[in-house]
Amino acid sequence: MKKLSFLFAQLFFVGLIFSQDLKYYLPDSVSYDPSIPKPKDIIYHEVGEWHVTHDRLVNYMKVIATAAPQRVKLETMGLTYESRPQVLLIITSPKNHQRLEEIRQHNIKLVDPSQSASVNIENMPVVVYIGHSIHGNESSGTNAALVSAYYLAAAQGKQIDELLENVVILFDPSFNPDGLQRFSTWANQHKSKNLVSDPNSREFNEVWPGGRFNHYWFDLNRDWLPAVHIESQNRLTWYHKWKPNILTDHHEQGSNATFFFQPGVPSRVNPLTPDKNQDLTGKLGKFHAKFLDRIGSLYFTKENYDDFYYGKGSTYPDVNGAIGILFEQASSRGHLQLTANGLLSFPATIKNQFVTTLSTLEGAKVLRKEFLEYQRDFYKLAANRAAAYTVKGYVFGDKNDLAKTFHFAEMLKRHQIEINELPDNWSDAGFEKESAYMVSLNQPQHSLIRAIFEKTYDYKDSLFYDITAWTMPLAFGIPYAELTGAIALGNKVESLKTPKAGIIGGRSNYGYLIKWDELYAPAALNELLNAGLVAKVATNSFETGVSGGNKKFS
């Protein structure tokens, strides 16, 4: 008899895992607007029953924006390499939606020290960017986005009204659409009718390169700083359009772990990140702990993970006057996996991600003024940091490679860094006015400029999770120099001009020479070869007559 009741208990437990409807995730103390479609009405399966594909995810986000226009507005940030839309929902109260542009302008003023003192933050909403599954195969985040979007659009009552009155949510359901699509296809096509939890099952072992990466197999969670890829570029445009005060970055970790939230290891925080940033991260952490306790989930904090490399989504905000939060959920990878902690179901992983979105929003609401003040101070104090620092600016540029110089300057502009031309009386022969720029460190993005140009030799900790060095001019192979003492700046560069190539000396009746130093020389050669022209390579430097004069070629 005892044995039988144990068996029943097991069956009951398994039943709980597999036939979840939305109630499993949602707080039961809240009522919901029945006119808002549930995910299953649109994506054809319960959340967690299958891994949502990106197309179905976008369908649902569109429906939510149409069904709850007073709360939700859908924007398309751009398209991925595989032409998937990067959608962003802007979610806030109906009242805030009516003055959305005014709220955005307020937030922009907050990061401008020349205007920020006059901004009244008393009734100003805090801006929270919620971001999911930049690693496409860490998909509990994106699947939780279905629940979060439903909750934020459909929940009724004083609590949600208060939240939406005080918070503008920039809701990004998928940081990496192409990777998500690749992974969801794998996980779904290998799902068994009777779920197989053996970690050796094919369901949990994607073939290389897997869904972590974007179309070009690049890890987008290392690209926030170089911003080489289209997904990062689209996202950064919207990031700086709004200057969020908090950004969340929902990931997954090894299946035998539990749940991690930042702060990370204190000795592995980037020294350019202010202590106050970590204090506020810790204050938000108390909300995550409380919310996870309520549903009986295990977690850890201040261990294992860094907060160092600004090319990661959870660290980039830390050098932009905001608070970035890394979440790491133990991965079920497929639908149900046996782990050191017992059976880990996909729905259980989704639930933790959803709950920590709620805890973030609650913390943002309660600590609203602290986040706004912190961002204002971060930029106000940039001038003090600049005054106290020996290096006053940088000059950079490659005389022989205008395109590379252009792309480096373009990267700086993407991060809202001001750059200047060289002044007329410039005398350092290493750099020429036509092919170089200057960056002053006395500007709001002081810390980010240092993060890009500085070489870091000293570390508090010898252990690291990830990237420790990324001096960007060295990565680009671009000449640069530190400027100390008083510096004179040339004109401010408002917009960069793409360098244009051309033919010197007009049409030839014999042949043409192409310099090989330029970034796009190989592309030009490829065009010529495709056009059927014959090309030869010079393997020594030489000098020859070109268009009336002699010219040296390397």
- Give the nearer residue to Zn ion in terms of CB position, either 179 or 244: 179
3-class secondary-structure state, position 42:
helix
When binding is defined by CB under 5 A, the residue of 250, 251, 288, 365 that contacts Zn ion is 251
x/- map, 92-131, Zn ion, by CB under 5 A: ----------------------------------------
How many CA atoms does the CB half-sphere of 142 hold within 13 Å?
A: 32
Q: Give residue number: closest CB to Zn ion.
A: 251
How far, in Å, CA of 309 to CA of 442, rounded? Answer: 23
How far, in Å, CA of 108 to CA of 115, rounded? Answer: 9
- DSSP E strands in 410-521: the ranges are 437-440, 480-484
> In sequence order, which ranges of 428-476 are alpha helices (DSSP H)?
446-453, 472-476
Q: How far is it between the farthest Cα atoms of the chain?
A: 104
Give the binding range for Zn ion (CB under 5 A) out of 185-193, 250-258, 351-359, 382-390.
250-258
- Give the nearer residue to Zn ion in terms of CB position, either 150 or 310: 310
How far, in Å, CA of 13 to CA of 344, rounded? Answer: 12
- Give the nearer residue to Zn ion in terms of CB position, either 324 or 397: 324
Q: How far is the CB of 137 from Zn ion (least distance, A)?
A: 9
Q: How far is the CB of 141 from Zn ion (least distance, A)?
A: 9
- Give the nearer residue to Zn ion in terms of CB position, either 166 or 331: 331
- Give the nearer residue to Zn ion in terms of CB position, either 46 or 252: 252
**Does residue number 135 form part of the binding site for Zn ion (CB under 5 A)?**
yes
- Give the nearer residue to Zn ion in terms of CB position, either 250 or 415: 250
Q: How far is the CB of 461 from Zn ion (least distance, A)?
A: 21
Give the binding range for Zn ion (CB under 5 A) out of 102-110, 246-254, 363-371, 407-415.
246-254
x/- map, 517-546, Zn ion, by CB under 5 A: ------------------------------
- Give the nearer residue to Zn ion in terms of CB position, either 213 or 354: 213
Where in 334-393 is the site for Zn ion (CB under 5 A)? none
Nearest to 358 by CA among 175, 176, 171, 177: 171
Q: How far is the CB of 49 from Zn ion (least distance, A)?
A: 23
Looking at the chain, how many residues does it have? 554
Q: How far is the CB of 212 from Zn ion (least distance, A)?
A: 7
Contact 278, 262 (CB under 8 A): no
- Give the nearer residue to Zn ion in terms of CB position, either 166 or 184: 184
- Give the nearer residue to Zn ion in terms of CB position, either 238 or 327: 327
- Give the nearer residue to Zn ion in terms of CB position, either 331 or 405: 331
The DSSP symbol for 261 reads E
The CB density around residue 207, as the number of other CB atoms within 10 Å, is: 7
Give the binding range for Zn ion (CB under 5 A) out of 138-146, 384-392, 424-432, 486-494.
138-146
The CB density around residue 542, as the number of other CB atoms within 10 Å, is: 11
DSSP per-residue codes, 118-175: G---TTPPEEEEEEE-SSTT-THHHHHHHHHHHHHHHEESHHHHHHHHHEEEEEES-S
Where in 260-319 is the site for Zn ion (CB under 5 A)? none
**Does residue number 250 form part of the binding site for Zn ion (CB under 5 A)?**
no
Q: How far is the CB of 138 from Zn ion (least distance, A)?
A: 5
- Give the nearer residue to Zn ion in terms of CB position, either 135 or 243: 135
Give the binding range for Zn ion (CB under 5 A) out of 135-143, 199-207, 390-398, 457-465.
135-143
Tokens matching residue 398: 């490659």
Give the binding range for Zn ion (CB under 5 A) out of 183-191, 248-256, 395-403, 410-418.
248-256
Write phi, then psi, for 275 (nearest 5 degrees).
Answer: -60, -35
- DSSP E strands in 159-292: the ranges are 167-172, 246-253, 259-261
3-class secondary-structure state, position 10:
helix
Residue 480: exposed, middle, or buried by beta-carbon count in 10 A (0-12, 13-18, 19+)? buried
Q: How far is the CB of 135 from Zn ion (least distance, A)?
A: 4
Give the binding range for Zn ion (CB under 5 A) out of 243-251, 304-312, 434-442, 449-457.
243-251
Give the binding range for Zn ion (CB under 5 A) out of 79-87, 244-252, 285-293, 465-473.
244-252
Contact 298, 385 (CB under 8 A): no
> In sequence order, which ranges of 330-470 are alpha helices (DSSP H)?
346-366, 368-380, 382-387, 402-414, 446-453
3-class secondary-structure state, position 257:
coil
Give the binding range for Zn ion (CB under 5 A) out of 58-66, 132-140, 270-278, 471-479.
132-140
How far, in Å, CA of 75 to CA of 394, rounded? Answer: 37
Q: How far is the CB of 44 from Zn ion (least distance, A)?
A: 28
Token pair 């979060």 is at which residue?
148
Where in 465-484 is the site for Zn ion (CB under 5 A)? none
Nearest to 534 by CA among 511, 518, 508, 501: 511
Contact 394, 438 (CB under 8 A): yes
Where in 141-170 is the site for Zn ion (CB under 5 A)? none
- Give the nearer residue to Zn ion in terms of CB position, either 116 or 184: 184
Q: How far is the CB of 175 from Zn ion (least distance, A)?
A: 10
Tokens matching residue 60: 């649902």
- Give the nearer residue to Zn ion in terms of CB position, either 314 or 320: 314
Give the binding range for Zn ion (CB under 5 A) out of 19-27, 33-41, 133-141, 525-533.
133-141
Tokens matching residue 20: 């979840």
- Give the nearer residue to Zn ion in terms of CB position, either 27 or 226: 226
How far, in Å, CA of 152 to CA of 91, rounded? Answer: 8
Give the binding range for Zn ion (CB under 5 A) out of 137-145, 305-313, 337-345, 405-413.
137-145
Q: How far is the CB of 259 from Zn ion (least distance, A)?
A: 13
The CB density around residue 27, as the number of other CB atoms within 10 Å, is: 15
Q: At what angle do helices 368-380 and 346-366 cross, to 10 degrees?
A: 70
Residues that bind Zn ion (CB under 5 A): 135, 138, 251
